[in-house]
Amino acid sequence: MNYTIIFNFAGNLLKFLSLVMVVPLLVAVYYGESLLPFGITIAITGILGIILSRVYRVEGEWKVKEGLAIVVFAWITAAIFGSIPFMLEGVSVINSIFETMSGFTSTGATVLVDIEAYSKSLLFWRSMTQWIGGMGIIVLFIAILPKLGVAGRQLFRAEAPGPMEDKLKPRIRSTAKTLWSVYFVISSLEVVALLLAGLSLYDAVTHTFSTMGCGGFSPYGEGIAAFNSPLVESIITLFMFAAGANFALYYRTIFSDRSSLIKDEEFRTYSLILISLTLVLSVVLWQDAYQNIFESFRYAIFQVVSISTATGFATVDFNMWSDSAKFVLLAAMFVGGTAGSAAGGVKVVRSLLFVKLSFRELFRLLHPKSVRPIKFNGKAVPENVIMSVVSFLGLYILLSFFTASVLALQGVDIVSSLTASFATIGNIGPGFNIVGPYANFDVIPFLGKVMLIGNMLFGRLELLTVFVLFLPEFWEE
């Protein structure tokens, strides 16, 4: 393991973070708030970044091990140093790291009790972390740092959401720049739409950050419900749906094949799942909670899209809904969005491939000697990809129940334990009961918070990238 490469990358990342934090610093200037939280943080991260990048100069080529280690430690570094402004505003160390990890991983689980008591600049940074993390810290870094070259492909593959790499351009840096360009354009469209809907520029930008990053942070304790606007809800629902789809498909639809979205098997399944769950939940709510079918549909579509894409916004306290309604949301929580998107969860493509694998195994019981490849978008899927899907799902379930067990042993009720575990591994945000949409994770014991911070990191980096670091062989020369 070449630790020089890791420290050099950490130094460059810290310099980048110090530059990014200038934006919330300007927000503090505009609103006449104290400049110390971000001024001190910028100084610390910038100076340390310069020292690390100069002391540890990169020599030699990167290996796969270095690439995997860099990705994991880059996210941990971002969460720790990005949490300093929270600490300087009086938030405890564990809660600050929890909030920032939740932001960068686009989870949206919060430990802040009185959100509106914090400065606008801090809440702006809180939402901004989700926008940066939604497309990926490393993907952004690859897009702006030409030195990475071939090594950038290792980093891209380690961070990219989904079992298969989706390359748009021959050079990985060009692919990263293209993905971020699409992400930026769609984000800009949402800002304009929310401004036209009557939101202030601050509200439009912060909620766009959280929507496009599939994060769910809001500068208001009531979240989207604070606006009480069906128009705002409709706009955010549309852009949550867009953020939950593969951004590479948007590029192909515009520049190469206009039928790319319709032809893509995962996107069709993703759309069908959201439509089906919305219709089912609308009927359930109409029977159990609301007399008006249109009101039922309004709440159903927003909550289903929000939970399915792992955004985590809420316009109603679904803790008060019936168990039938909660079960629909639980199903949405597990499946998640598509690969190559900002969404969390298991991902639709993995669910699809697992179902196809199950049917193939049933077919093999009748025809043991048959050779029947699993196809996706008309092409045979390599067996190593199928095995990675099975491994992912197995580890996903094991980690979920292990975390839930630890929480339950600390006195957290079983529903809260299970849903907190699923919500953090899937980078979704709210769960049920004490971690519901208008509740908060501050009630979780210290050890539980540490576990959930780890869950958010595992979930955002698709489990295997982090789990491999626990193998003794990984650290051997």
Instruction: Report the Cα 398 to chain-centroid distance in Å.
Output: 20
Q: Of the spans 158-162, 259-263, 280-284, which averages the highest pLDDT? A: 280-284
Residue 380: what are its φ and ψ, rounded to 5°? Answer: -70, 135
Q: What is the Cα–Cα distance from 271 to 261, expressed in whole angstroms?
A: 10
132-185 pLDDT per residue, tens: 888 766 565 555 454 544 444 444 454 455 454 555 444 566 777 777 888 899
More confident residue, 175 or 455: 455
Question: Residue 146's pLDDT is what?
Answer: 47
> Closest by alpha carbon to 284, among 240, 238, 330?
330
210-257 pLDDT per residue, tens: 999 988 899 998 889 999 999 999 999 999 999 998 888 888 888 877
What pTM value is reported for the model?
Answer: 0.90
Question: Residue 418's pLDDT is what?
Answer: 93
**Helices (H), strands (E): how many in the chain?**
22, 2
Distances (CA, A) of 345 to 32, 105, 215, 474: 39, 12, 12, 27
Instruction: Please name the residue ranges forming H helices in 289-382.
Output: 293-308, 323-335, 348-366
> Closest by alpha carbon to 335, among 271, 263, 413, 260?
271
The residues, ordered by sequence, that sit 6+ positions from 21 with a Cβ below 8 Å of its Cβ are 38, 41, 42, 45, 85, 125
* Overall average pLDDT of the 97-111 stretch: 93
What residue ranges do the domains of the chain occupy? 380-472
From the CB of residue 144, how many other CB atoms can be counted at a distance below 10 Å?
A: 12
Distances (CA, A) of 392 to 259, 381, 474: 31, 16, 19
Task: Kindly indicate the confidence band of residue 87, based on its pLDDT and cuts at 50, 70 and 90.
Answer: very high
Question: Residue 159's pLDDT is what?
Answer: 45
262 has a pLDDT exceeding 80: yes
Q: What is the Cα–Cα distance from 398 to 56, expressed in whole angstroms?
A: 38
